[in-house]
Structure 1
Amino acid sequence: MAQSLHFPLLLIALCSISECVQRQYHFINEKKTWTEAQSYCREKYTDLATVDNMNDMKQLMTSVNNEQIWFGLQRTGVYNYNWSSGDPVLYLNWGSGQPAGSDNCTYISNGLWYVMPCITSLSFICYNMSRGLVFVNQAMNWRDAQSHCRQNYIDLVSVRNQNENQQLEKFINNRSLSGSPVWIGLFGDSWQWSDQSNSSFRYWDTNQPDNAGGIENCAEITPNDLRRWNDIACNNPFPFVCHEDKLIVIQQNLSWSEALRYCRQNHVDLVSVQSVEIQYKVMNVVKLASTEAVWLGLRHSCALGIWFWVSGETVCYQNWAPGYGTSEEDCEPTVRSGAVQSGGDQTWISHPETHKLNFICRNY
């Protein structure tokens, strides 16, 4: 007899604002080179540790000794621009001839973006959830500005689209600073995480990375009080930290109901995306998929005319592609379920549940 699938009938009405832990860290007290540590982590866990934010950093530090420690950051030959906040880089508004040079940070002037050495002192703009944009009329280098924003607000400001860029330009002009250079949260570097994550979080020590001798291509956690990061030669033998992903892409093509059953039998459940933070985690792993979209734990109720997560929560945070996610879904000939696109902006779409797609299970 076919096993029936049971869904929670009682939907949680309040939206949770807590962030679920998406990975678990494992301290390995064996001294290995960076490459040896990487191989060990990939065999035993997922990879050398990736750090997305200060919460991750604090969690990682709870289990390690006060010594030099490898984690998953390595210098590559590929130069990329990233937002300090970890937001994906979906929009750029460079001035003429920009960006020029390398290892530079970004300022805005008259709505256009330019780069200059990060050691330059400029005023800057932070943001937080309650006040929005916050202008700091103190001249600091980019990294000190970043630290100031993280300690007092959330981070240096990110700009995700043209509308936000125009709002930022207006905000600056209203303070009679038109044309003045002001730091924003965009920086460029050639560092990449071992697991190919797009995390842009950095926690460098003062005057680091400096690539002394031109051979310092791996990052370590220093044994000083702040446990900031330093670049060093990769052949040094140190203990290290691995991570185990809490989200996993299953590269099997199954219907939504089959995917749900698989996750509940082999992991915990299909993933619920209840916040922008979890959406970023999904965006990191969904690039491993072999189908154009990947099932989420998102289901449409034809009887109630609503979308809900199979974990029981209502859909509070939403990331639908235009034209999707309405309450008037076509329920014929079959119920529709939610998926995230594996390319483009990785927004959500709906498909008949009989479609065969990869899917994301959660282990937490």
Structure 2
Amino acid sequence: MNSFHRLSRWINMMGSILIILAGFRLFVLPVHGSQEFNYHYVKEPMNWTNAQAYCKSNFTDLVTIADEKELQEILNNLTRENVSDAEIWIGLKDINMNNGTWSNGETSTYRKWNAGEPNNRMLACGSMYYHRNEVNHNGTWNDCGCQNPQSFICYAVKRKFHAVNTSMSWLSALEHCNSNYNGMATIRNEREEWHLLKSINETNIQEKVWIGMRSSRVFGFWFWMNDDPVTYENWVNDSSVTLQDNRHCAILDLNQTEVGQAGLCRTSPICLLQRVH
């Protein structure tokens, strides 16, 4: 065996090892950046409508609380900011002896009503009690008149997406995204997918967009180009099918969606970009 063939064999072997390690890393690394939002407490009292307008103008919206973990994160943030005991507007609206809806359109069903709430027979908005010195800082919710002047909490998404309505190949899309933004979009969880879809709905794009996922042609596993671990997948079809050369890149298919949901498949010339904040 001449030296050229030995070198070629060594390069192929090392390439295979690197691919195996990359695939293994997808499953063992912790999710980085799992906290999707920044929270901003505004002390100046406003009614609910004005508070929402302020949040939309300066951040993303009044805060939506999806689960107990996020509620505790918000309460801990208030404690770090030395907030005094307060009743604080959150993004819950249209409450009329029921659970109401979130102002940004999210469909999260998590609720943390105080005992006996909701009990307002008039159309009401949601507020949260914060008790600085109480265990877990309370964090229960109340339905109260939307005209009450109260402090409030806004949120801002840490990762923003930008869809480019220009047809191009996946490789051209990758180069364009890397050159002009922070790479092609990744989707780390269902809630982030919802925000991504919401941003696309504000454009004229109606069918499919490239995302920054592709598969290993050798081993078949899928990976994000920016090294995010693959912690969330929502395939329309079986992603384990035999791959062809033109089917190793992923798209978000907007026509396969239900409310807040989307599927992934593997063809399209439209690029999806993201900014990371």
The match for 2:57 is 43
The reply to whether residue 208 of structure 1 matches residue 117 of structure 2 is: yes
The match for 1:311 is 226
Deviation at 1:260, TM superposition (A): 4.3
The match for 2:242 is 328
Structure (1 or 2) with the greater helix fraction:
2
> Could you tell me how far apart the structure 2 residues matched to 1:291 and 1:30 are?
40
The reply to whether residue 363 of structure 1 matches residue 270 of structure 2 is: no
The match for 1:227 is 139
> Could you tell me how far apart the structure 1 residues matched to 2:144 and 2:75 are?
20
Deviation at 1:272, TM superposition (A): 3.2
The 5 A counterparts of 1:140-159 are none
- Whether contact under 8 Å (2:55, 2:154) holds in the other structure is yes
The match for 1:272 is 186
Deviation at 1:12, TM superposition (A): 5.5
Deviation at 1:76, TM superposition (A): 6.0
The reply to whether residue 195 of structure 1 matches residue 104 of structure 2 is: yes
Q: Classify 1:219/1:246 alpha carbon distance in 2 versus 1 (closer, same or farther; 3 Å).
A: same
> Could you tell me how far apart the structure 1 residues matched to 2:172 and 2:44 are?
41
The match for 1:293 is 208
Helix, strand or coil: the match of 1:208? Answer: coil
- What TM-score, normalized to structure 2? 0.72
Structure 2: which amino acid aligns with 1:306? F
Q: Classify 1:328/1:56 alpha carbon distance in 2 versus 1 (closer, same or farther; 3 Å).
A: same
Choose from 192, 195, 199 the match for 1:281.
192
Q: How many residues align?
A: 236
The match for 1:13 is 24
Deviation at 1:261, TM superposition (A): 5.1
> Could you tell me how far apart the structure 1 residues matched to 2:111 and 2:178 are?
35
- What TM-score, normalized to structure 1? 0.57
Structure (1 or 2) with the greater strand fraction:
1
- Whether contact under 8 Å (2:23, 2:223) holds in the other structure is no
Helix, strand or coil: the match of 1:282? Answer: helix
> Could you tell me how far apart the structure 2 residues matched to 1:201 and 1:238 are?
23
Q: Classify 1:314/1:363 alpha carbon distance in 2 versus 1 (closer, same or farther; 3 Å).
A: closer
Structure 1: which amino acid aligns with 2:108? S
CA offset digits 1:98-149 (Å, max 9, x no partner):
xxxxx7xxxxxxxxxxxxxxxxxxxxxxxxxxxxxxxxxxxxxxxxxxxxxx
Moved more, 49-58 or 259-268: 259-268
The match for 1:67 is 86
Deviation at 1:69, TM superposition (A): 0.8
- Whether contact under 8 Å (2:38, 2:156) holds in the other structure is yes
> Could you tell me how far apart the structure 1 residues matched to 2:182 and 2:42 are?
26
Structure 2: which amino acid aligns with 1:49? V
> Could you tell me how far apart the structure 2 residues matched to 1:305 and 1:253 are?
29
- Whether contact under 8 Å (1:48, 1:241) holds in the other structure is yes
The reply to whether residue 244 of structure 1 matches residue 182 of structure 2 is: no
* Identity, % of aligned positions: 24
- Structure 1 gaps of 5+ residues are 1-7, 78-102, 104-188
Deviation at 1:68, TM superposition (A): 1.1
Moved more, 288-297 or 257-266: 257-266
- Structure 2 gaps of 5+ residues are 1-17
Moved more, 220-229 or 46-55: 220-229
Deviation at 1:250, TM superposition (A): 1.9
- Whether contact under 8 Å (1:48, 1:72) holds in the other structure is yes
> Could you tell me how far apart the structure 2 residues matched to 1:308 and 1:235 are?
49
